[in-house]
Amino acid sequence: MLEKELTTIVGRDHFTLTETDRLLNAHDASPLSEAKIRAGEALPLADLVVFPASAEQISEILKLANRLRLPVIPVGGGAGTCGGTLPVYGGMQLDLKRMDKVLWIDDESMTVRAEAGIVGIDLEETVNRRGYTTGHTPTSLRASNLGGFIATRSGGSMSSLYGKIEDLTLGLQVVIPDGSVIECKAVPRSSVGPDLRQVFIGSEGTLGVITEATLKLFPIPEERRFRSMSFKDVHSGLTAIRMIFRQGVFPSVVRLYDPEDTAMSMSSHFEVEEGSCMLLLAFDGRSDKVALDEKIAADICLKEGGKDYGEGPSKRWWEHRYDMYYPTKFTTSGYSIGDTIDIVATYDKLERVYHSMKKVMESHDAVVMSHFSHMYQHGGSIYMIFFTSQSDAESAWATYKKIWDDGVAACLREGGTMSHQHGVGTTRSTYTADELGSSFEVLKSIKSVLDPRGIMNPGKLGLGVRQ
Amino acid sequence: MERETLLSQTRLCAACPKMCRHVCPTFLAWRSDSPTPHGRALLVYQDLKGVRPLDDRSIEVLYQCLECSHCLTWCLPEVDVAAIVESTRTRLVSEGREPAGIRELSDKIRESHNPFGEPHSSRLDWKRPKTSDGRKIVYFAGCTSSYREKEIAESTVSVLSKVLGYSVTVSPEEWCCGSPLFRTGQLGSALEQAHHNTELLNSLEGEMVVTSCPGCYRSLTQDYQKHGLVVDKPVVHLSKLLSDSVDRLPQAESSPVITYHDPCHLGRHAGLYDEPRSVLKHVSKGQLVEMERNKDNAMCCGNGAGLRALFPEESRVIGRARIEQAEATGATQIVTACPFCKNMLASQARSKGFVVDLSEFVMSSVKSSGTKAKTD
């Protein structure tokens, strides 16, 4: 019956029950997926994969899935790092890659409307041709897509200037689990009740399927300038960053590398003092404004004891910013496993969170290196990157879990939040209740109203485990 | 490819978050994670590891690859998925597990020495222009120019003879170069063709062998050599020969704005990017504009490695997309340097004459400029 109905909805060519296709669509870019692939282990498979072409088709599919109580896992680029699209309870993967069109570009309002399945780089190149940028360029740009950006509440590498996906998304079309196609109007602002877009931005497929979005656009900057400064420690680097924002300067890129990450990422290309911290800055905009912003920022850095490295390290990072997303023989060898906990805190807590997390993570035989990126006026994110190498798979996974458990606990204890942009998926699902505290009940209530049968992406975001 | 190399390369690719997928033509055609470099590598990796053997659908996925190597341009660890696919196809053929359509292709080539199943006796049924009596050269026409894009064979002989003054030999005993067979893993059948052609070419008089087909060029210069078969005279692609003599080429009185499509076998597989461009810039008097995706980032036409034979509809989707990329440049003509590419792209173009081969473009300029033949 399922096959017959799906054939009516999407056509026989656009769904598959073949094991090979289910296998090839099963994984994302999470360390769990990658480690299982390396070890030749099986990942959880969906029972079928469906490739819809429109919101109308998705509406019919969700009605059908609701009737059959079939789990539905929306899939975008499959490039997530948290297992958000893993079909842990089987069911149907709803793959949006056929919905890949740019519907229109509005030059007057500087907005673009696109379908959710468009790959990030395809969207960016399309608007670039018209002289715009979306301002949203995460490292996964070549692999992830628009729906995934929104569903995971992602942030690009230039979020300090252009904003995060929740700032960039003006309008949204979502198919909710009962099959209704809802629109959140594309307006720059509204005071008509709570902003319902934000219910779905970051919902990770647990509340519905994002099918289209209207995004802000920005003119491609006349100039992008780079500047790099090194500091004697994390504290002085963070102080400089705070002061730059306080002066009303918004660099497009702000990245402060701690001593370990500076040694790892910079020392083979530039002469850096041991124990120093490198700050990378970029400035976008009109040439005269960029020159002024750069001067103000540089003066602040020098006043805080920074050592000027010119454009070199920052420009090099920019030119190689996608390289770290590729696997290497080191990261795919034996029983080594690495991951990133991308936490956020306000400035008053940021250093405490950093030191506390680093201490507990290192206590589990992990190499920890970090950079402070995605910085804002009131605080910012830390990429707590760790690697551990163990003698066998079991020890590697046990260590990995301890690092995560203790790392997140330290983050929450010191007042941080456990993710800036990667989302929750399966990796952070069990920590969600602790993170959200009393407000978790509100999220659960929303879920129970929108998805009473719990079909949408069960097991993610701490929600919707099938009974 | 050695097993250990295959294992280490496919492990890297299977662990990647698909950083090349967005340029994979078959991803564009199917919009699924199955026919992608990552998908192919994962299947081969699991098979080699003994986790999951290749089933019928896996084999189909491995034959849903153009071997265009566009993914390699975007791959930092330089995983050569086309080579992995070809090596796996060769193994599958040796085990008798290739798709039936591929076996039919092999049968046709073995019987009639061309992939179209046309009679071998009609291989030279195209208008061979009179050649000059200058220095001798051998033209290896290839199957597509001999049977489907005869204008390319005719223009190539014309340009060699009338413009460069060569005495051109084309042998009726030429067989398929074996490219479709090498690419689809049918090594035994490919080498039958290769042995014959090597003997033939070595028996002919001429200072070099010229091809107008990059598939033939790659086979003669790379595949044959890999298997110890050596053609005893230099083998060159027409674009290289013309670029070496660019000052002797005519210039069009009034050239349309043109764009150039890089054939995968000529560009990514042989490194000839600048040669055809230097010819086109000269002949068109600078009317060449580039597509956004060019040189090592050029998109495949969709007509390679058996894809069109097995999956014609998806092959056409890819060809149509490439035509749209050409149209976006504002050019009124797209020039390529491959009969296979021309055949596919012309089938998807909105107007006749929008797609021409390099040889045809040069000869049309001879006509428009009224240049008389120059001979040594």
pLDDT tens by residue, A415-457:
999 999 999 999 999 999 999 999 999 999 999 999 999 999 9
Beta-carbon contacts of A277 under 8 Å, excluding residues fewer than 6 positions away, are A230, A231, A232, A233, A234, A236, A237, A256, A257, A258, A259, A262
Tokens of B231: 């053609």
Residue of A nearest to B37 (CA): A24
Partnered with residue A213 across adjacent β-strands are: A114, A172
| Closest to A278 (Cα-Cα) out of A294, A258, A297 | A258
Are B31 and A51 an interchain contact pair (Cβ–Cβ within 8 Å)?
yes
Indicate the residue of A38, A97, A326 with minimum beta-carbon distance to B31. Answer: A97
Chain B hits for A19, CB-CB cut-off 8 Å, are 55, 57
3-state secondary structure A238-273: HHHHHHHHHCCCCCCEEEEECHHHHHHHCCCCCCCC
Average pLDDT, chain A: 95
Whether B239 contacts B358, CB under 8 Å: yes
| Closest to B77 (Cα-Cα) out of B11, B140, B30, B136 | B11
DSSP string covering B3-57, please?
A: HHHHHHHHHHHHTS--SSGGG-HHHHHH-SSSSSHHHHHHHHHHHHHTSS---HH
| Closest to A199 (Cα-Cα) out of A451, A422, A412, A437 | A451
Whether B275 contacts B36, CB under 8 Å: no
| Closest to B295 (Cα-Cα) out of B321, B280, B276, B312 | B276
The pLDDT score that the predictor gives to residue A38 is: 81
Are A78 and B76 an interchain contact pair (Cβ–Cβ within 8 Å)?
no
Q: Cα separation of A170 and A212, whole Å? A: 11
Question: Which residue in B5, B7, B9, B19 has the most chain A C-beta atoms within 10 A of its own C-beta, making it the best mutation to test that interface?
Answer: B19
Are B33 and A25 an interchain contact pair (Cβ–Cβ within 8 Å)?
yes
Q: Cα separation of B194 and A44, whole Å? A: 47
Chain A hits for B38, CB-CB cut-off 8 Å, are 24
Q: Assess A334–B contact: CB distance below 8 Å, yes or no.
A: no
Indicate the residue of A28, A29, A100 with minimum beta-carbon distance to B31. Answer: A100
* Strand B136-140 relative to strand B209-211, pairing: parallel
Q: Cα separation of B23 and A189, whole Å? A: 37
Residue of B nearest to A53 (CA): B31
Shortest Cα distance, chain A CAs vs residue B16, angstroms: 6
Name the DSSP letter for residue A144: -
Least confident of B93-97, B152-156, B307-311: B307-311
Are A143 and B15 an interchain contact pair (Cβ–Cβ within 8 Å)?
no
Q: Cα separation of B31 and B9, whole Å? A: 24
Chain A hits for B77, CB-CB cut-off 8 Å, are 326-329
Residue type, B64: Q
DSSP string covering A72-139, please?
A: EEEESSS--SS-TT--TT-SEEEE-TT---EEEEETTTTEEEEETTSBHHHHHHHHHHTTEE-S---T
Residue type, A262: T
Q: Assess A248–B contact: CB distance below 8 Å, yes or no.
A: no
Which of the four pLDDT bands, split at 50, 70 and 90, describes residue A80?
very high
CA B40, distance to chain mean position in Å, is: 22
Is the pLDDT reported for residue B375 higher than 50? no
Whether B321 contacts A122, CB under 8 Å: no
pLDDT digits (tens, 9 = 90+) for B278-329: 999 999 999 999 999 999 999 999 998 889 989 999 999 999 999 999 999 9
pLDDT digits (tens, 9 = 90+) for B199-253: 999 999 999 999 999 999 999 999 999 999 999 999 999 999 999 999 999 998 8
Question: Which residue in A99, A326, A336 has the most chain B C-beta atoms within 10 A of its own C-beta, making it the best mutation to test that interface?
Answer: A326
Is the pLDDT reported for residue A241 higher than 80? yes
Indicate the residue of A23, A98, A142 with minimum beta-carbon distance to B31. Answer: A98
pLDDT digits (tens, 9 = 90+) for A111-146: 999 999 999 999 999 999 999 999 999 999 999 999
Residue of B nearest to A142 (CA): B19
Partnered with residue B259 across adjacent β-strands are: B289, B334
Are B8 and A323 an interchain contact pair (Cβ–Cβ within 8 Å)?
no
Higher per-residue pLDDT: A394 or A418? A418
| Closest to A385 (Cα-Cα) out of A430, A423, A352, A354 | A354
Q: Percentage of chain B with pLDDT > 90? A: 91
Shortest Cα distance, chain A CAs vs residue B76, angstroms: 7
Q: What angle do CA A333, A338, A341 make, to 5 degrees?
A: 170
User: In Å, how far are A147, A350, A355, A360 from A347, measured between CA atoms?
Assistant: 31, 5, 13, 21
Longest CA–CA span in chain B (Å) reads 67
Q: Assess A323–B contact: CB distance below 8 Å, yes or no.
A: yes
| Closest to B206 (Cα-Cα) out of B136, B310, B290 | B136
Shortest Cα distance, chain B CAs vs residue A213, angstroms: 20
Is the pLDDT reported for residue A467 higher than 50? no
Indicate the residue of A37, A121, A143 with minimum beta-carbon distance to B14. Answer: A37
Whether A82 contacts A428, CB under 8 Å: yes
Chain B hits for A20, CB-CB cut-off 8 Å, are 34, 43, 55, 57-58, 61
Partnered with residue A325 across adjacent β-strands are: none
Q: Cα separation of B252 and A232, whole Å? A: 66
CB pairs under 8 A between A and B: 102
Tokens of A422: 């990667």
Q: Percentage of chain A with pLDDT > 70? A: 99
Chain B hits for A79, CB-CB cut-off 8 Å, are 17-18
Are B33 and A37 an interchain contact pair (Cβ–Cβ within 8 Å)?
no
Indicate the residue of B15, B57, B292 with minimum beta-carbon distance to A38. Answer: B15
Are A143 and B21 an interchain contact pair (Cβ–Cβ within 8 Å)?
yes
Are B19 and A77 an interchain contact pair (Cβ–Cβ within 8 Å)?
no
Is the pLDDT reported for residue B374 higher than 70? no
The pLDDT score that the predictor gives to residue A16 is: 98
Whether B298 contacts B284, CB under 8 Å: no
The pLDDT score that the predictor gives to residue A51 is: 98
Question: Which residue in B38, B48, B76, B324 has the most chain A C-beta atoms within 10 A of its own C-beta, making it the best mutation to test that interface?
Answer: B76
Are A329 and B12 an interchain contact pair (Cβ–Cβ within 8 Å)?
yes
Higher per-residue pLDDT: A39 or A138? A138
Are B8 and A329 an interchain contact pair (Cβ–Cβ within 8 Å)?
yes
The pLDDT score that the predictor gives to residue B371 is: 55
pLDDT digits (tens, 9 = 90+) for A313-365: 999 999 999 998 898 877 777 778 889 999 999 999 999 999 999 999 999 98
Whether B174 contacts B197, CB under 8 Å: yes
The pLDDT score that the predictor gives to residue A26 is: 86
Q: What is the ipTM of this complex?
A: 0.94
Which of the four pLDDT bands, split at 50, 70 and 90, describes residue A36?
confident
The pLDDT score that the predictor gives to residue B188 is: 96
Chain A hits for B292, CB-CB cut-off 8 Å, are 125
Chain A hits for B18, CB-CB cut-off 8 Å, are 29, 77-79, 142-143
Are B57 and A19 an interchain contact pair (Cβ–Cβ within 8 Å)?
yes
Indicate the residue of B15, B19, B36 with minimum beta-carbon distance to A142. Answer: B19
Counting every residue written for chain A, the total comes to: 467
Shortest Cα distance, chain A CAs vs residue B251, angstroms: 33
